[in-house]
Amino acid sequence: MALIYTEDQKSLIEMVKDMAEREVKPHVAECDRTGITPIELFDPALEMGLHMLEIPEEYGGAGMDFETSAMIFEELAKVDAGYADTIVTTFVALRNVIIAGTPEQAQRFADVVADGGFACFAITEPGAGSDAGALRASAVPDGKGNYVLNGTKCFATNGECASLYVGFFRIPDVGITAFMFDRDTPGFSVGAHEDKMGFRMSNTTDLIFEDVVLPESAIVGVPGKGLNIALSGLNISRAFLSTMGVGIMQRALDEAVAYAKVRVQFGKPIIKQQMVQQMLADMAIKVEASRVLVNNTMKMIDAGMDVRKEASITKTFVTDSMQEVTSNAIQVFGGYGYSREYPVEKLMRDAKIFQIFEGTNQIQRLTIAKCLEKEYE
């Protein structure tokens, strides 16, 4: 691979690989078929402390750097990216609390996660996807120091399995505001579970709010600044999710090469055929370029740099590359690639969502263009 790994990184990656191959991989096909992932399937990952990697040390977590954490989740995503994303989504919610919340909120978040709880980041609504500023879910002051929340969120990752939620609501005459709340909050319920094309080991649901009463202390950051908080967190998340994309691509390449070495046509393994060699070479180019791009962006985040443009570039390049790499993997397999008997069709189904969530790639290109315009003023 193009990266130079430290001995500690190699050791961690090997431990995660062993756990995922042994504890998760045997269940992937069935979970993909049913769209249901038993929560106990995550116990091995929790026992390894993967849920605590990004939580700062002062709150009881590992405080791991983004560069190393990304390497670990690439490895986990090779077995199943939806499984990896269930853990990563907790970090997506956490980043908002770390960016804008109080130390007390951060500690509460860490304590819930340390006990084995997952978290959910809830911003998308039926009428507010790419246009997050159009969200309609409301938080109305009750005059007693509380806020009454009403509305619906959709496509909420970890919606059903989360213990803690960071959601975004519009306060009249104030603006979009972030709130943190527990699963058992009265008036809050989990709605329909999405029957998705791929990424089926990741739980995705609607969230319903019916006169949910939260105290002012549930607000994360400054009222009315919720969208800024969310976008700041997403700058990290967009780059970080790309590491799971690299995992999917590497798995697709591994499967394609292995198959091409044993599949014989015209009297020789197809890996000896020039056209197949070209496809495999193109796949390898995209995988390595994507891995290096993710790694550089992670280093920038670790250095505290503004990665708004770089995160969008990384997300767009990697997730667009995934479409080519996974499609070529199926092409190498030929008709067998279209069969569920082999894993590559699943990789292609899983890959598609990466061009959509955390901001569509069309939105990423707009962000890149706006950054360029500002840079050249």
Residue 224: which of 165, 157, 163, 141 has the closest Cα? 141
CATH number belonging to the domain at 119-226, selected among 2.40.110.10, 3.30.1280.10, 3.30.70.20, 3.40.50.300: 2.40.110.10
State both tokens at 122. 């809830």
Q: Find the catalytic residue in 21, 358, 373, 375.
A: 358
Dihedral of the alpha carbons of 237, 240, 241, 246, in degrees to the nearest 10: 160
pLDDT digits (tens, 9 = 90+) for 311-358: 999 999 999 999 999 999 999 999 999 999 999 999 999 999 999 998
Residue 1 in this model has a pLDDT that exceeds 70: no
- Taking only the tens place, the pLDDT of each residue in 241-273 is 999 999 999 999 999 999 999 999 999 999 999
End-to-end CA gap in the chain: 39
**Model pLDDT, residue 131:** 85
Cα angle 245, 246, 248; round to 5: 65
pTM score, two decimals? 0.95
Would you say residue 2 has pLDDT above 80? no
Structure tokens at 77: 């995503």
Q: In the chain, where are the structural domains located?
A: 7-117, 119-226, 234-375
pLDDT tens digits for 146-199? 999 999 999 999 999 999 999 999 999 999 999 999 999 999 999 989 999 999
Pick the CATH number of 234-375 from 1.20.1090.10, 1.10.287.130, 3.40.640.10, 1.20.140.10: 1.20.140.10
Query: Do the two domains 119-226 and 234-375 of this chain adopt the same fold?
Result: no
pLDDT at 33 over 70: yes
Would you give the distance in Å from CA 251 to the centre of its chain?
17
User: Which among 63, 237, 215 has a CA at the least distance from the CA of 145?
Assistant: 215
| Structural fold of domain 7-117 | Butyryl-Coa Dehydrogenase, subunit A; domain 1 (1.10.540)
pLDDT of residue 133: 85
| 23 included as an active-site residue | no
